[in-house]
Chain A
């Protein structure tokens, strides 16, 4: 459906581990596949939480250091605030049929999107391949990532 001059390939880097840090990249990757655009997702630093089995079910909204939330930092720091904001946001997303993160990763993978983890981050966090969800297509060096992204757009989130 993309035109001659249209975008053919996107490589999206997800570097943050908060709910609002992860979703935009997932939505863009999925949206790319929906338009027939090739999509690679590259998870680095805390962004890897979105694809690690132990963390991916428990991603939260940042209520501290997030002025757009409109919650004063001291209140945002209260126990349960982040969980509360997260559940509110999840409810909103469910209404729009935006899936929870683990299901979204599965959906993107089923749609033909590729899921990669960053080697440097994997080594730094002392993770193994088994720690990741089954959709992981590989652990890449930065160089591999550039090779893979050649000829496409790179988006950092």
Chain B
């Protein structure tokens, strides 16, 4: 379905995940973050978002939280502090990626 985020018309799933990564930009990320209760995307947030995008680019898979820690060098504690209540689900949404489907 279509949705207007930060003034841009984008395609999203029913749960609000962007379906076309090419439609993503930083303003959309900010707006999505706000919707999820994160008022300001800090340097720490961007570090996570950039790793998710880079890793997805390379592997075509959403990384697990363990991989974000081991490969992205982002401590799990920090990840949960930055994106409370569902870190990977929130971070992937803000990063313009699909919803993670892994159990771990």
List A residues at the B interface (Cβ < 8 Å).
1-2, 27, 30-31, 33-36, 96-99, 103, 107, 110-112
Contacts and interface: CB of A to CB of B under 8 A. Distances in A.
Contact of A97 (B64, B80, B89, B90): B64
Contacts of A96: 102, 104
Given A1-B86, A1-B89, A31-B104, 15 more contacts: A1-B90, A2-B85, A30-B104, A31-B103, A34-B86, A34-B87, A34-B88, A34-B89, A36-B86, A96-B104, A99-B104, A107-B66, A110-B76, A110-B77, A111-B80
Contacts of B89: 1, 34-35
B104 A98 contact: yes
Contact of B67 (A1, A97, A103): A97
A108 to B, nearest CB: 9
A97 B66 contact: yes
Contacts of A99: 66, 104
B44 to A, nearest CB: 15
Nearest to B76: A110
Contacts of B86: 1, 34-36
Interface in B67-104: 67, 69, 75-77, 80, 84-90, 102-104
Size range of the chain B interface in the assembly: 10 to 19
Contacts of A1: 85-86, 89-90
Nearest to B64: A97
Shortest Cβ-Cβ A-B pairs, 4 listed: A36-B85, A1-B86, A110-B76, A36-B86
B12 interface: no
B41 interface: no
Contact of B76 (A35, A97, A107): A107
A80 B6 CA distance: 61
Contacts of A103: 66
Given A34-B65, A34-B86, A110 B104 contact: no
25 contacts: A1-B86, A1-B89, A2-B85, A27-B103, A27-B104, A33-B80, A34-B65, A34-B87, A34-B89, A35-B85, A35-B86, A36-B84, A36-B85, A96-B102, A97-B64, A97-B102, A97-B104, A103-B66, A107-B66, A107-B76, A110-B75, A110-B76, A111-B76, A111-B77, A111-B80
